[in-house]
């Protein structure tokens, strides 16, 4: 059996690969486990290896990473016809695994549909906010972590939709003790940058400029570059703009969360924030972010000064 593993949820993809290697008896047999890189290695070398019988074993596994030639943006010059010729008559003792770090295969390409028929294709799409909550509860149950609802709420907000990070943070909490409450969760799970930027925007909208600049100084102390902070700020403003537009159309909190694939609590806070800013004002601020980004990168304005002036602009546009 040959495989195509594709998707941006790298933890599950890696887990599936380890299972394939184990089933073939190659998880601890380096001699019969060969790895190639489609962007660097030639297809002919891979096919020659695939047609060679394994040493002192029933099977061998050949893993080809970064098989972007199966996607819309190809980064290798591999000939699909040559690959298909092998897959139509593969060597039974070789397990060929093609890894694609994208959520979709380009079925418009000649040969990709046939590869899907000739190989077992497994998809590992990245978690969205709604699936994350269910997965988080299941992993907490599996790891036997006792946790209250306020603490779970903290984990929902702070943990990214990345299974590897979620596993790492839950393993850390599992070592802490028998019970995790909100205080422990807040102390042990680091705040994402987006949470601080969101708090900074909300402080500005609420007229708490001293608090807003204190948050900015904290972010600056953590060596976050102003251009990077601007990108995160623009992302937050874009989210507020989307919420404001949907509210104008009569969408409710649950409907907005479902439409934007966002956490309901984040939507709730955003709905409160946009009461003081119109969609038009938010759109103008996004335009200013784009202009400031260009000016920063062109060296027309000091990055730190430009970012601080933008924060003041958010407050001034609200008045």
Between CA 213 and CA 287, with CA 211 as vertex, the angle to 5 degrees is 50
Q: Are residues 161 and 246 in the same domain?
A: no
pLDDT at 155: 92
Q: Are residues 117 and 135 in the same domain?
A: no
Q: Are residues 38 and 100 in the same domain?
A: yes
- Model confidence over 234-288: pLDDT tens digits? 998 999 999 999 999 999 998 998 898 888 878 888 898 888 778 888 898 899 9
Q: Which of 182-191, 221-230, 232-241 comes out lowest in average pLDDT? A: 221-230
From 75, 96, 123, give the residue that closes a domain. Answer: 123
The domain tally of the chain equals: 3
b vs e for 135-156, b when ≥16 Cβ sit within 10 Å of the residue's Cβ?
ebeeebeeeebebeeebbebbb
Query: How far are the Cα atoms of 59, 122, 269, 308 from residue 209, in angstroms, in the given order?
Result: 65, 50, 19, 11
* Both structure tokens of 131: 């699936």
Crossing angle for the helix pair 209-221 and 193-205, nearest 10 degrees? 160
CATH number at residue 9: 3.40.50.300
- Model confidence over 77-107: pLDDT tens digits? 788 899 999 999 999 999 999 999 988 898 8
Q: Are residues 164 and 200 in the same domain?
A: no
From 123, 140, 164, give the residue that closes a domain. Answer: 123
Q: Are residues 221 and 313 in the same domain?
A: yes
Average pLDDT score over residue span 24-35: 80
Q: Are residues 17 and 94 in the same domain?
A: yes
CA 112 from centroid of its chain's CA atoms: 25
Q: Residue 61: which of 3, 12, 122, 121 has the closest Cα?
A: 3
CATH number at residue 147: 1.10.8
From 83, 98, 123, give the residue that closes a domain. Answer: 123
CA 18 from centroid of its chain's CA atoms: 21
Average pLDDT score over residue span 163-179: 89
pLDDT at 31: 80
Q: Are residues 288 and 261 in the same domain?
A: yes
Q: Are residues 159 and 223 in the same domain?
A: no
Q: Are residues 136 and 214 in the same domain?
A: no
The domain of 170 spans 129-188
Q: Are residues 145 and 104 in the same domain?
A: no
Q: Are residues 240 and 274 in the same domain?
A: yes
Q: Are 290 and 238 in contact (CB under 8 A)?
A: no
Q: Are residues 12 and 109 in the same domain?
A: yes
């Amino acid at each position: 059996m040959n495989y195509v593993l594709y998707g941006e949820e790298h933890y599950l993809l890696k887990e599936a690969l380890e299972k394939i290697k184990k089933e073939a008896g190659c998880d601890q047999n380096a001699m019969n486990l060969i790895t190639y890189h489609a962007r660097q290695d030639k297809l002919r070398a891979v096919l020659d290896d695939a047609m060679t019988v394994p040493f002192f074993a029933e099977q061998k596994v050949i893993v080809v990473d970064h098989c972007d030639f199966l996607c819309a943006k190809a980064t290798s010059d591999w000939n699909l016809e040559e690959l298909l010729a092998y897959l139509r008559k593969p060597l039974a003792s070789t397990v060929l695994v093609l890894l694609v770090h994208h959520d979709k295969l380009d079925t418009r390409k000649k040969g990709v549909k046939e590869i899907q028929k000739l190989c077992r294709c497994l998809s590992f799409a990245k978690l969205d906010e709604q699936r994350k909550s269910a997965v988080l509860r299941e992993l907490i149950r599996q790891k036997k972590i006792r946790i209250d609802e306020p603490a779970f709420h903290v984990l929902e907000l702070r943990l990214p939709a990345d299974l590897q990070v979620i596993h790492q943070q839950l393993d850390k909490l599992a070592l802490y003790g028998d019970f995790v409450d909100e205080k422990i969760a807040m102390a042990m799970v680091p705040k994402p940058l987006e949470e601080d930027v969101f708090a900074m925007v909300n402080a500005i909208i609420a007229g708490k400029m001293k608090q807003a600049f204190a948050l900015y100084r904290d972010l600056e102390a953590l060596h976050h570059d102003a251009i990077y902070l601007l990108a995160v700020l623009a992302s937050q403003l874009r989210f507020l703009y989307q919420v404001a537009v949907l509210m104008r159309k009569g969408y409710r909190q649950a409907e907005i969360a479902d439409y934007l694939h966002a956490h309901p609590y984040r939507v709730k806070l955003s709905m409160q924030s946009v009461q003081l800013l119109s969609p038009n004002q938010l759109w103008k601020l996004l335009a200013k972010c784009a202009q400031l980004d260009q000016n920063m990168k062109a060296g027309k304005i000091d990055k730190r000064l430009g970012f601080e002036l933008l924060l003041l602009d958010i407050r001034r546009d609200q008045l």
